Structure 1
Amino acid sequence: MSEKKAMSEQRAMSRKESMSDQAHKRLQHLDEEWDLIVVGGGITGAGILREASRCGLKVLLLEQKDYAWGTSSRSSKMVHGGLRYIPQGQLKLTHESVIERERLMKEAPGLVDLGSFTMPHYKWKFPGPFSFNALLAMYDFYARLWAHYFSNKTSVVQKLIPGLKHKNLVGATMFRDAFVDDARLVMRVLDEAIADGGTAMNYSKVVDLLKDGEQVCGVCAEDGITGETVEFKARVVVSAAGVWSDPLRAKVGEKPVIRPLRGSHLVIPSWRLPVAHACCFMHPDDKRPVFVFPWEGSTVVGTTDLDNVGDLEDEPVITNQEIEYLLKAVNGEFDSADITREDVISTWTGVRPVISSGKNIDPSKETRDHAVWDKNGLVSVCGGKLTTFRLIARDVLRKANHYLPDVTVPADKEDATIFHTECEPVEDKRFAALGKQQQKRLQGRLGIRLQEVLQQAEDSDFLRVGSTDFLWLELRWAARTEQVEHLDDLLLRRTRVGNLIKNGATEHMQRIGQIMTEDGGWTGSKWEEELDRYGALWKRAYSLENPA
């Protein structure tokens, strides 16, 4: 037996549970005592669970709603180095982000993939080719590769970005970053953590901290499904609650630190605005960067950057101000496109957990770096970028090491993979018939569970859902094993068909209902209730029917 295969079998034997096993548990069935409890199931919390389980800790993650429900399913879908942070002097953040971007593309192809970006340049307008290419030189230096160039052939630029305005166009700079399905990244990281012994539960809200005197020694959590409350003891509690961090920090006497900033996006059919590259340009009003990029067979326009108002417990909704802002941006850069509200398939709005400087400055100028604090056994982490979640997790564990002296936290540069990569070759004729690109996509999205997914899939599950790249087997697997409690969990996070198909994919509800009753264990009344709930939610928060 080869050493690689022996390692694979040894790791498989050491895995305690899969997400499938944990899907059927609720809080009252879990152990009462843990080494570490993580509050928050976004990418930061998932990363902490991953690194803690790798260290051999007995660790529990509790998410108040669904995994990635907040910021981590509503980003701009980019794994990037933060080019705009260089002029702001955040060189360390950019350097770390570029290195982590390259790592993620290497470890998770099909989930984190190289993206081509184009910045058009116009006479007498910022940024010019020279200044922009100077920034990219530093960008590529950090990545240790030369991956940008300027083209003054406007005909070539217009072929890559059809419909781009040509008046005063002098050329464009091409460069690289990466794209990701952010919610699926969270699920893969969670799955890797669970395979190494971690435990994760969604719809489990931490309502209070347990204390021994002033020292935090656990949490009280409310089960969002059964309504029961359960207490858990822990050597240390970590808050990775994103924009919900301040209420938990207040329980140990800490002051608010979060400035919640909202960002919204429009999804339009690719035939209305076909782009081969992501196109970035400056908004005519405030000179903020705006992106138009291909995503899952559609085209996305985003994003805004505004102070968020309203209750953070409610689903964030795009505002009329943001709709007009994004339409003005895209129609200004693609001056013959005439994109209107009627072209929009769906929208999404996310709220970013940015650390406030305490100053009345433009939202875009607030730092995107993270910070970690420890107060009486509550270790809090706020801010940060999706791209650097692994480094953030290790910073958190180093801060928590005071309470876990027997744990060795890996160094940032240690070459431990985020994802298990020693997967066995897939021997399935149906999988082989999908084509190389779709195979790569499924491997990236499903990771170590791919073999199980294929074994449980029916022949008809290898068909696409409408015109999307999603296959029915992805919905069936999620319904069966990935803790899907509500219909929006399935259609807006485990998959994206609710964002990509008109009217939230209502034309496919008959088959989706069959999957949820057969594989999700839903009753007929549960399905009808969820159908009504999802329809109202989609109209309110993911369409232009009821903008704020």
Structure 2
Amino acid sequence: MKRQKLVQRIDENLSKEWDLIIIGGGATGLGVALDAVSRGYETLLLEQSDFSKGTSSRSTKLVHGGVRYLAQGDVALVREALRERGLLKKNAPHLVQNETFVIPGYKWWTKYYYTIGLTLYDLLSGKLSLGRSKPISKKEAVRRLPTIRQEGLRGGVIYHDGQFDDSRLSINLVQTIVENGGVALNYAEVTGLIKDSNKIAGANMKDMESGKTYALKAKSVINATGVFIDDIMKMDKDEHKEMVRPSQGVHLVLDKEFLPGEDAIMIPKTDDGRVLFAVPWHNKVVVGTTDTPLDEHSLEPVAMEEEIEFILKTAQKYLEKEPTRKDVKSVFAGLRPLAAPKEGDTKTKEISRSHKLIVSDSGLITITGGKWTTFRKMGEDTVDKAESVSKIGKTVSTSEDLKIHGYESNTDYDDPLYFYGSDRNEVKGITEEYPFLNEKLHADYEHIKAEVIWAARNEMARTVEDFLARRIRMLFLDARVAIDMAPEVAELMAGELGYDEDWVKTQVQEFTNLANRYLLEEYKPKELVNKN
């Protein structure tokens, strides 16, 4: 998966008419492209930044049916999500793990109430169930959650859902799309739409690396840009009623000592009626989330002080070891593309997470809503719509049986490189030719220098941020360590991609400035010795 070769495929076929051009390289766009290539369509996906740069790398790391949606009575959404959860576990077992969740009970009725509800949750998952829900005693709850607050604890309920690495899945999806004949480009900004007799006929694209512009023809254009869908719809029609109101979700990352077991915590109803999760992830704990309506969107949203305090205070109520601001390793925020509420309505947590398809008069197809778990079904529904609207053909989707790049039936989660799946041995193979690349990038973490080379060579990583934020997850796991890693990563990437020392200095500075936005206190990097 080399960017230069993919750009070359476009350059060599400038007069080509693609079946589908998909705008947006997050979960939604990747789902559309995956389904399109599974049907044999000529597919081009364009992403203005890096794949999953926005919301799709900032989730709660859950592949789930949505217990909250069941409580709201949205049985159809839950059934669909549970089926997709099972399919994703089957097709990407190197990235999706079965996670046991504990709902701690501090009232006598908690065990019975949630056991009944979660039994329905299990039944809806059918043959793709990850395990049965059941009530547990106080002793068992404490065994599973050694740091849970025990005062007043009466027991709890356990249930099963999926846990995954969102941006690693994004990269593997891009690889799968390319392997199946599609083209997917990062740093390829759509600057306008092409029309023929007022009907969509393609898109104008600027390659952000070369500066070259392209007029690309297509039978169907899909707007899958998440919180940015209104920007694309305005390219189609100046007078456009906004469809999306972003809602911000914030997560804090803590050391494993705050939740030392393998099980996650789910608090179904916090003081303001939200759900709070504490989920083990890459030997850290992700705690969140919030649901805050915003009036504007950004690729780098920033957590508000009240959101940080809400998460800390809620976590402190349930954990014996109370987390404080100084314990936060990283804080990240993502924006959900929710349907714009009616005037005066701010209850974003009541808005359905079902996806919605919109067909403009011009034939532009916009997909909005949904969540990571249902990305494949969203893609299937979108391609079905493209077949009916744009007459691109009529074929059967095969994406539900499509193995995702990196698939391997037995994953050793104790291997530090496990998330590369079947690519793991090739990553290690780089060190055989250059033994120094087996050195760690940081003494406290298992990541090695060879991973930088692999990401630049085979995963389309173009910047230090691409690598530290989304090829490995260090920015999200420990932003201070990510800052310390940056100079070494920049030097290695520059050598692989052919950049000079000025590029290295600029990259390190830009990444350091960015990473400090993931911290609650500014961090000045250590002076690293250049080992070249």
TM-score norm. by structure 1 comes to 0.87
Return the alpha-carbon distance in structure 1 between the equivalents of residues 198 and 214 of structure 2.
Answer: 21
Structure 2 residue 388 is the aligned partner of structure 1 residue 402: yes
C-alpha distance 281-472 of structure 1, shift in aligned 2 (>3 A): same
Write the deviation string for residues 233-267 of structure 1: whole angstroms up to 9, x where unpaired. Answer: 11110110100001212333453211211001111
What secondary structure sits across from 1:419 in the alignment?
coil
What secondary structure sits across from 2:257 in the alignment?
coil
Match of 1:63 among 40, 47, 58: 47
Alpha-carbon shift at residue 139 of structure 1 (Å): 1.0
Match of 1:506 among 483, 496, 505: 483
Count of aligned pairs: 512
In the other structure, the counterpart of 2:413 is 437
In the other structure, the counterpart of 2:294 is 308
Write the deviation string for residues 271-296 of structure 1: whole angstroms up to 9, x where unpaired. Answer: 24434311111564213111112111
Specify the code of the residue in structure 1 equivalent to 2:14. D
Match of 1:143 among 125, 141, 152: 125
Write the deviation string for residues 26-74 of structure 1: whole angstroms up to 9, x where unpaired. Answer: 9756634322100000011111111112222211111011100111100
C-alpha distance 284-40 of structure 1, shift in aligned 2 (>3 A): closer
In the other structure, the counterpart of 1:329 is 314
Contact 1:479 1:515 in 2 (8 A): no
Contact 1:27 1:223 in 2 (8 A): no
CA root-mean-square deviation: 2.7
Return the alpha-carbon distance in structure 2 between the equivalents of residues 397 and 216 of structure 1.
Answer: 16
Write the deviation string for residues 402-444 of structure 1: whole angstroms up to 9, x where unpaired. Answer: 35546334258x853242688799xxxxxxxxx93345x7465
Structure 2 residue 469 is the aligned partner of structure 1 residue 484: no
Contact 1:250 1:256 in 2 (8 A): no
What secondary structure sits across from 1:528 in the alignment?
helix
In the other structure, the counterpart of 1:79 is 63
Contact 1:281 1:291 in 2 (8 A): yes
Contact 1:189 1:418 in 2 (8 A): no
Contact 1:296 1:468 in 2 (8 A): no
C-alpha distance 422-114 of structure 1, shift in aligned 2 (>3 A): closer
Contact 1:235 1:403 in 2 (8 A): no
C-alpha distance 487-29 of structure 1, shift in aligned 2 (>3 A): farther
Return the alpha-carbon distance in structure 1 between the equivalents of residues 133 and 51 of structure 2.
Answer: 36
Write the deviation string for residues 463-520 of structure 1: whole angstroms up to 9, x where unpaired. Answer: 6554445444332211223222221111001111222235142333453233212223
Range with bigger deviation, 347-356 or 480-489: 480-489
Match of 1:543 among 509, 519, 524: 519
Q: How does 1:25-424 map to 2 (within 5 A)?
A: 31-33=14-16, 34-123=18-107, 128-144=110-126, 145=129, 147-152=132-137, 154-253=138-237, 254-282=240-268, 284-310=270-296, 312-334=297-319, 336-358=320-342, 360-375=345-360, 376-402=362-388, 405=391, 407-410=393-396, 416-419=401-404
What secondary structure sits across from 1:519 in the alignment?
helix
Alpha-carbon shift at residue 388 of structure 1 (Å): 1.0
Return the alpha-carbon distance in structure 2 between the equivalents of residues 381 and 158 of structure 1.
Answer: 44
Return the alpha-carbon distance in structure 1 between the equivalents of residues 461 and 12 of structure 2.
Answer: 18
Return the alpha-carbon distance in structure 2 between the equivalents of residues 139 and 527 of structure 1.
Answer: 51
In the other structure, the counterpart of 1:522 is 499
In the other structure, the counterpart of 1:456 is 430
Return the alpha-carbon distance in structure 2 between the equivalents of residues 286 and 168 of structure 1.
Answer: 21
Return the alpha-carbon distance in structure 2 between the equivalents of residues 337 and 216 of structure 1.
Answer: 57
What secondary structure sits across from 2:514 in the alignment?
helix
Q: Structure 1: 5+ residue runs without aligned partners?
A: 1-17, 426-434
C-alpha distance 465-119 of structure 1, shift in aligned 2 (>3 A): farther
Return the alpha-carbon distance in structure 2 between the equivalents of residues 24 and 405 of structure 1.
Answer: 27
Contact 1:468 1:497 in 2 (8 A): no
In the other structure, the counterpart of 1:432 is none
Alpha-carbon shift at residue 219 of structure 1 (Å): 0.8
Specify the code of the residue in structure 2 equivalent to 1:513. A
Q: Percent identity?
A: 31
Return the alpha-carbon distance in structure 2 between the equivalents of residues 415 and 60 of structure 1.
Answer: 20
Q: Where does structure 1 differ by over 4 angstroms across 4 or more consecutive aligned residues?
A: 23-30, 420-425, 441-444, 449-452, 459-465
Return the alpha-carbon distance in structure 2 between the equivalents of residues 411 and 471 of structure 1.
Answer: 39
What secondary structure sits across from 2:331 in the alignment?
strand
Return the alpha-carbon distance in structure 2 between the equivalents of residues 262 and 30 of structure 1.
Answer: 41
Contact 1:108 1:444 in 2 (8 A): no
Contact 2:173 2:405 in 1 (8 A): no
Contact 2:147 2:258 in 1 (8 A): no
Contact 1:461 1:473 in 2 (8 A): yes
What secondary structure sits across from 2:204 in the alignment?
strand
C-alpha distance 544-489 of structure 1, shift in aligned 2 (>3 A): same
